[in-house]
Structures are given as structure tokens and as C-alpha cells.
Structure 1
């Protein structure tokens, strides 16, 4: 893989030049480097900041911009361990925890990480069993067209129905799916199940309902994506124009050229593209102009402060204005009150979703909600 080799060489070069007067650097695993600081008086947090600065600049390759997202695990001698093998083990555990929390994270080793490490091993096995025994289920949360005051569609969300624990909150298992790579298989199941539900249920109930689903960073980077997604849609005979893919800014930033190519393939096939959690990532306006997305999803962190927070009002207004100027639609998530709905409607948002309308619900309840929806209850 010439591109991957180029990235590794450039990474090694930057780290080597950085560590010349500070210690030693070595490649100790696939995409993994270890830095040993030889100075006892080194300010570790300052060093971490310098390492992050090293990779703030993207790598240029054949007119392509590649951004590197790094995770850092830290272990200290003699506090964490007195022998080199044990110290390396502590650093690896810290790195594993950092990766679990997402790209660009930093984790310092602590004794609590040993317990977390044991927990991760156990929950990974349980998740593998969940995939094998079909313990995952899809819940659906409605999206409402503000102007028409009608249901525009549903977002499909994965849930885990544990045989002993019952319904497990997504925050307790999705990060582990992501960090272990199981998210690729689970994500494929979400798409397939959503297509099946659409064909068997939603398509016959409404000609306008669209289904959206999330694609994680790891799933988006997978080589089989998006051909696997397109293949599933074709296999189930779903109209691609009734499907929306939600992807975060973080997933798009790592490899600009390839990300845009994948999104263009999906757009040309007919699937709508929505930028999820918009405003919380790192994309520039120049980058936004290139992305073939037709919808911006306003993160709930900006909606939560409405209608009283002046800063949130200004940010949401700016996002809606920007979207309209670029010819894109907007969806506000996390709407919990009638007052929030009113101010968003006045600002010109296209769609809303949140607990004010409904929590995510199983397919049967979503079907009933669709059939019994009464706009006068909300507007």
C-alpha cells in the first residue's frame, strides 16, 4: 500500500526529528510508535502538546491532503512500573483506553485502567456473542418536517437487548464496538436491517418516509465501504432516494480525497448525505464546499441552550443561514420543548427531531407513531 507506507515514513520522520534531543523513538506495532523520554525533568504535558503540533499539519501526497489523527497513551517510570516490559504494558493499556474514547485522545496510565482493560475484554466477548446470536435491535426516532408539520422520516439507531441485563444504553457498548472493529460488522447489520424494515413496513405506509442511519468513523474508512452499502440497497430493492447516510465531520477529515470520492459514489447512486453533529468537528468552510452533502445536522449541544442562550441562538442562526446559502437542508436534533421548536421554526430550520416528539422506539411503536401522528399535539 504505497499511500500507507508514505504516511508511516512521514510519521517516523517527524517523530525522529522531534525526539533527537529528548529521547528515543521506535515503531512497536502497526501504525504504532513508542517514544522513550530520557530526561527526568521533562514536562510530559508540554511534550504531548508538541507531538500534537507535529501532526497538526497534513501530509501532502500526489495533490492529496492526508490528515493524521493520533491517540496517545502515557506511562511513567517509576510511578507506574519499574521494569521496561511492564512499563510498555502500562503504556499500551493507556493507549487502548485513549483509542476507545475516540481519535485524538490522550490517556495517562492508572491502576483503574487495569479494571477497565478487564472490562473491555469481557464486553468484547459479549458483543461478539451479541452479533452471533442476533441480540441487536433497531430503534427509530422520528424526524419532523417543520414547514409541513409532518413526519419526514426516521433515524435508525442500534440498541443491544442483553439476555440478562435487558436494554443496554448505547454509550455502554458503541465505543467498544468502534475500538475493537466490531462496528464494521454491526454497522453492516444496521444497514441491512433498516433496508429490510423499510421494505416490509415503512414503504407500504407512506410514499414520503425516508430512513437515515449513522456510519461510524471506522466503518466509513473500511475498504468495503461504500460498495457494501450500495450492494445491500440493491439486494433489498430499496429506492436509494428514500435513504440518508449520516456521517460526522471527524470521519471525513482523515483522508479528504478518498472521503469525497466515497460520498460522491453514494450521492450519484441516490443516497442522501447528511453531516452529523455539525459544528462540533474540525472542518473548514473550504472543505464544506467540497463535500457532496445536501444536509447539515445541527448538534444538540447548540439546541439545548435555546431559546435563552444568546450564543447558541447566534450559532444556530449562522448554521441555518450558511446551509441555505449553500443550498443545503438543516435538521436540528435534541429538541425537547415546544419553545425550542418555536425558535427553530422561526429561524427557518427544515426538520427537527428529539424527545419533544418521541424517544427512539422499536419498530412496532414507530409504526404506530407514524399511523397515529397528530401535528396539533406538537405545533
Structure 2
């Protein structure tokens, strides 16, 4: 068993000549043959780097003489034909009755790559730190009594006073400090430092209120000034104004958890609350109930009067439902015309009564648009969250089944999920969408579309050139109408069909490019979306590599798009997946960047080339200063880290010009070009030739 281990194993016995032993992997790790050299402690010491030998000798001496010690040491060891490499040496000893080691068993592991990575990360960190230190911050100094001695110009502007006005005043007469987003006053860290209770640098975040009444959020660092004789004679304070960053962070937190149209919480935040309700039901025996509401006539309003009317209907509908809720009830918009309601500590009978009350209000309500009124209808499903609920998927599937059954029962009614109900069980959850997707895939009703991505730095006149584009997918229903991806992709992902869909798209698109070499030679990059499931799907990476080789596609023509949510959920696997394809020459983009709280935290870890700035920020930059500031911050951070940026939802010339001024690299949206079926896209662009073989393949799906 030991001989087959992946680590190098060694053994030493005290006072027994020839008893030392190395495993075969030990020789291999050191680049040696079994009969090439003597083995043992002395040979290992000779191989250790001269600068590390004393460290090893001291650790070894403690191990064999002090009972209970463990050997755990990182040293450099000479490897034949490779030079010195970093290894981790471990050792555990058995001791005799005198407390001396009689036998030591240990291992060595090659950690050279990890060490190199640590060095690279440290270098990157040093670059970021150097950049931050170059920013001019507010600086002030005080004497040992807390009286201001000096403030720089940045501090003078920050505190709204001159250096002369501040000099000699006690620090408490200049600023007050409070906990962030709180009215609770905190002790001044400068005074804590001067009192001697804080001997080292002190860092904290706080809200600062100047005597002029101005309020900021700052990062403070207070450093004691100590003479060579050890006497504390003052302190220096550096204040960095992070007010805008905090506002952006709060905006990010809000945007990450709320629907931008209705201001209701979104699906992810709602599901987080449902999970809490499930836990309470299991651990505290406190049942809750779930209600799904699906607007039945929303599509008609949208089709007849456009998205503006549809948006207004959704807003009014959400306000109508909110007016019927208790203070503890939670309403969310899940997407499109679907809403959900969590009634905490509410029985199923009470929830059914509430659902009928809401339905009656909906039936009495009339939506008016352009002097025309419409009756609004809704299908409502109700399910209980109790101790029998397995998990989130079970609960959502139950209430979704009830809602769908309400639709099948003629719409504009309420249905309650009850175990054993044959109709409910037959329509559980998103199985219907899964069936539709599978059927569409088998019948060739998936539609490959493309949308332009334009280079707005190189393309000064903002003319649409289609030498960069993103592949998008649509589905035709049985009547030939296009179904948007947000209708069927959740079911595809929930039932693990996403890798199958990704394989289908990749194969079709690479085949298209291979059959049209004139297109391949002219495009910049073809962007293809990959799901989080594909990133961790066994065999998916080799599939991509094989398809690139089969169709002889240059990897640098392909850019894969992944969402930050998918990447962060499987960070290690995602990073390895991305790096493997980047090593081939492919590019990667992080999609919907900025929509999650952890965006910046993981940005340095993921080796992506592009950041696609989430459209919820871009679409309002022409009339919202906060959105503009957020786009600018994301763009600048991306550029600092060596990544290019792509703005989504570029819908007009004004937005495009602002993005140019900010310095964003690429733009995508209706102003640059609407998504078109793939063949129409190329026929309407500079690429005119579509090979007959490709035309036949794509004839059924555009």
C-alpha cells in the first residue's frame, strides 16, 4: 500500500544501520534511480538547499528528542536535472521509554507549483497595494493631547476647514465617529491610540460627521508616533473617503436581491427566504405557506401595446397584491409575469383564504392603458411548507404544479397542492418545460441566433461591424412562435440538461464556422455561453477540445461566456476549466458582471479576459449618476486587472457615447444590433457566402 502511494514515503530507525527506507515515488520525486545513490537522512540533508539545512536540522533534533513533536516543514530540495524545488516534509515519531525517537515515518510532497502561485499572487497583491497607495487621501496629525497639528489639502477639503482653522483644536471638536449605517457613536480611535491602549496601527470603517454637518463613510488608519526613546508623542491619521463605494455596495446588494422593475425581491432572494421557512418548519414545527401567481393576460397586453404597457401592468399588479399582505408576508417577482408570495407561520387553510382574497381583488381590478381598460386574470397555486417538505426544489415544484393546474382548470382560479392529488402529481413543477425542450430538441425547433458585439474604441463612428458576435438560443413552440430562453432554461438547468444543450450549440456553431471559412477569417470572436453545469460536467472539456480539432477552428476565434454565479459556485473546478481552454488559446468572458455581491472578491481568481457589465447598470447611465458611477468603477477595475470590458443593453446613441467617454471597450445591445437567426445574421452583414451543406443543416431552425 505504501509503495503505491502518490507521495514520497520514507522511514528512519535510530541506531539500526541500513534500516532507512525510501518508497519508489520518493526516488521519482527527486529524479533519482533506486540504485543511483545511498538513501537515508544524510543523503536527504545533502539534497536540501544550504539555506534550509539548518532549519531542517533544528526541526529534526526537536522531533527525535521531544516527545509529541511533529515534523512539518517546507524546504527546497535538489531534483536531478531540474534544480531546487519546494517540498513539504512531514514526519511522525515513535518514542522509547526515555522519550527519544526510535522510529520516524514521514513523507515528502512536491509543492513547487503552489509556491510559485503564492509568489505570483503576492506580486499581484503588491501591484494593487501600490496602486491604492498612490491615491491622495486625507491626512492629519495630532500631538499627545489630541490637538491637531497638521492637515493636508485633501483633509482640509474633506473637513471643510483650512489648516489654520483646524490647527490647535482638539480632534473631538472637529469630527464625530459613528458605526456604519447607525446612529451609535463610537470612541474616537485617535484618542484610543493616544491613551496608550492601542500600540499598533488601528484600522476601522466608520461614518464621520464633521462639525459643519457633512457626513461621510471613511476608512481610517491611525498610527501612533513613538520616539526612539519609546515615548508616545502623537498620532497620524489617514482617512479614505469611501462614501461612494458604500453607496455602490448598498446598490449592488439591493440590485442583487431585487427586481429592478417592481422593486420586489427577486427569485434568488425569495428562495433564500423559502429555505429559512423550510428550516423553521423542520426544526421549530412552524408551518408556512407558499403562493404562486401567474398573470394570464400579460402576454396579450405586451403584444398589443408593447413593453411599456406590460411593465406598467406588472408594477400595478405588484402594488395591488402588496396592499393585501400582512407585514410579515414576502412578495417576489420571479421573472416575466410570475410572482410568488411567502406567508410565514401561516396554515394552508389561511393561505388558501388569502389566495382567494387576492384573486377577488385582481378580478375587480381593471388595467387602463391609452384610454382602454383590460380585465386582468391570474392563475394561483398554493402549497404548504411543513415538516414533510424535503427541500427547496420539492416546495417550488409543488406550488408550481398547483399553479399550472389552475391554468389547466380554465385560469383565473386557485388550486391547492395536496399530496396524492392525481392532477397535481401529473403536472409537477417544471417537468412540462423539460418535456417541451426535449421535444423541440428532437424535432429541430431550437433556433440559433447571433447578436453583434462592436468594438467602440477602434470603431470611432460607432458603425455596426459584425466581426464579433454572441450566440443566443431560442425555442419554437408547436405553433412556430419563438419562446424566450428564460421560459425553458430554468427547467433545462434544474433537470441537468444544460450540458446536453451546450454540446448541441457548440457542435452546430463550430460546424457553421468550419463550413464558411470566409466568415471564420473575418470575425474577431464568436462568443458561446456555457452553463455552470457544463463547467463541472465530466467529459465536457475533452468534448470542446475534440470539436475544435474536428472542425479545425482556431481557438482564438472562440470566447466562452460564463456567469459569475456559476463560476463562484464551483470556483476551483471553474478556474481549472477556464485555464485549460485558455492554454489552448480560447478566450473567456464573465457574464452579468456586477450582479452578485462577490464579484470583485473573486475577480482576481478567475483568469477571464472580458467582463460583461450587467445591463441593469448600463441601461440607465444616461439618466442615473449612480449607474454611471458603477459602470465606470467596474470598467476601471477591469482595466487595472488587465481585462477588457463589454457593456450590455446598449439601446441608444446616448448610452453608446457615454460608454465611449468612460472607456468601455465593447458594446452589445439593440443599438449595435438585434439578435437574428444565424443565417439571417450573416446574410445581413458583411459575410455573404453560406455553404450549401450549412444551409441545409440550419434550414429547420434559422
* TM-score when normalising by structure 2: 0.40
Q: CA deviation at 1:309?
A: 0.5
Question: What is the distance in 2 between the residues matched to 1:309 and 1:115?
Answer: 48
Q: CA deviation at 1:285?
A: 3.1
Q: Please point out which of 426, 439, 446 is paired with 1:136.
A: 446
Correspondence 1:149-168 to 2 at 5 A: 149=459, 150-168=465-483
Distance 1:205 1:272, change over 3 A: closer
Distance 1:365 1:202, change over 3 A: farther
Q: Note the alpha carbon deviations across 1:93-126, whole angstroms, 9 max, x for none.
A: 42447999xxxxxxxxx94775995462232222
List gaps (5 residues or longer) in structure 1.
1-31, 45-71, 101-109, 374-379
Q: Please point out which of 527, 530, 554 is paired with 1:239.
A: 554
Equivalent in the alignment of 2:127:
none
Correspondence 1:1-379 to 2 at 5 A: 36-40=282-286, 79=349, 87-88=388-389, 93-96=394-397, 111=415, 114=424, 117-118=427-428, 120-149=430-459, 150-201=465-516, 203-204=518-519, 206-371=521-686
Question: What is the distance in 2 between the residues matched to 1:362 and 1:43?
Answer: 43
Q: Note the alpha carbon deviations across 1:66-86, whole angstroms, 9 max, x for none.
A: xxxxxx9x997654789989x
Question: What is the distance in 2 between the residues matched to 1:329 and 1:97?
Answer: 44
Distance 1:123 1:254, change over 3 A: closer
For the residue of structure 2 that corresponds to 1:160, the secondary structure is strand
Distance 1:115 1:239, change over 3 A: same
Question: What is the distance in 2 between the residues matched to 1:343 and 1:82?
Answer: 49
Question: What is the distance in 1 between the residues matched to 2:502 and 2:447?
Answer: 12
Equivalent in the alignment of 1:17:
none
Q: Note the alpha carbon deviations across 1:236-258, whole angstroms, 9 max, x for none.
A: 11111000000011111123222
Question: What is the distance in 1 between the residues matched to 2:555 and 2:683?
Answer: 24
* TM-score when normalising by structure 1: 0.71
- Contact kept, 8 Å, 1:300 with 1:333, in 2: the verdict is yes
For the residue of structure 2 that corresponds to 1:134, the secondary structure is coil
Q: Note the alpha carbon deviations across 1:272-295, whole angstroms, 9 max, x for none.
A: 010000000243534211211011
- Contact kept, 8 Å, 1:215 with 1:246, in 2: the verdict is yes
Of structures 1 and 2, the one scoring higher in RCO (CA 8 A, sep 6+) is 1
Q: What RMSD in Å do the two structures reach over aligned CA positions?
A: 3.8
- Contact kept, 8 Å, 2:450 with 2:678, in 1: the verdict is yes
List gaps (5 residues or longer) in structure 2.
1-277, 291-341, 350-381, 402-413, 418-423, 460-464, 689-702
Question: What is the distance in 1 between the residues matched to 2:384 and 2:477?
Answer: 41
- Contact kept, 8 Å, 1:198 with 1:211, in 2: the verdict is no
- Contact kept, 8 Å, 2:280 with 2:286, in 1: the verdict is no
Question: What is the distance in 1 between the residues matched to 2:577 and 2:616?
Answer: 28
Equivalent in the alignment of 1:103:
none
Structure with the higher fraction of residues in helix conformation: 1
For the residue of structure 2 that corresponds to 1:226, the secondary structure is helix
Q: Note the alpha carbon deviations across 1:284-313, whole angstroms, 9 max, x for none.
A: 534211211011001110111021100011
